[in-house]
């Protein structure tokens, strides 16, 4: 069994995507072997981050859309749960292939 979450985390302010990833993820855990890779989410620039600590390891995409930080997370991406691996990979690919941004409501997220 795996988990998928899609969260609008709040305003990015004047930060770029690179700064958001640095500040919110990578700089918090300088001793960990965190990997980053450019990708797209819903046809727009995003970044995949792997190696962040938690109950299980996860794979995350961070993006900025309409000034808001968007995070998509799947887990477990962890050798401790090999039975979940194939399902998590299928879900991850389905999210990447089908993700579409919807218009925000006028009163915000």
pLDDT of residue 97 exceeding 70:
yes
Q: pTM for the whole thing?
A: 0.81
pLDDT (tens digit per residue) in 29-59: 777 778 889 999 999 999 999 877 766 677 8
Q: Which CATH number fits domain 3-98: 3.40.1000.10, 2.60.40.1180, 3.60.15.10, 3.40.50.880?
A: 3.40.1000.10
Under DSSP, the state recorded for 42 is T
Q: What is the pLDDT of residue 80?
A: 64
Residue 6 CA from chain centroid, whole number: 8
Q: What is the pLDDT of residue 33?
A: 77
Best CA proximity match to 72, nearest among 53, 89, 49, 56: 49
- Domains of the chain, by residue range, sit at 3-98
Q: Which segments within 1-109 are labelled E, that is strand?
A: 3-11, 35-41, 44-50, 59-65, 68-75
- Torsional sign, CA 12, 17, 86, 102: positive
- Tell me the C-alpha distance between 75 and 107, whole Å: 31
Q: What is the pLDDT of residue 24?
A: 67
């Amino acid at each position: 069994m795996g988990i998928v979450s899609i969260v609008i985390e709040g305003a990015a302010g004047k930060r770029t995507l690179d700064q958001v990833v640095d500040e919110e993820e990578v700089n918090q855990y300088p001793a960990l072997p965190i990997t980053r890779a450019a990708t797209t989410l819903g046809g727009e620039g995003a970044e995949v981050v792997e190696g962040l600590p938690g109950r299980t390891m996860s794979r995350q995409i961070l993006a900025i859309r309409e000034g808001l930080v968007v995070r998509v997370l799947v887990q477990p991406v962890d050798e401790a749960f090999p039975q979940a691996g194939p399902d998590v990979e299928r879900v991850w690919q389905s999210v990447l292939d089908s993700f579409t941004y919807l218009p925000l409501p006028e009163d915000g997220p």
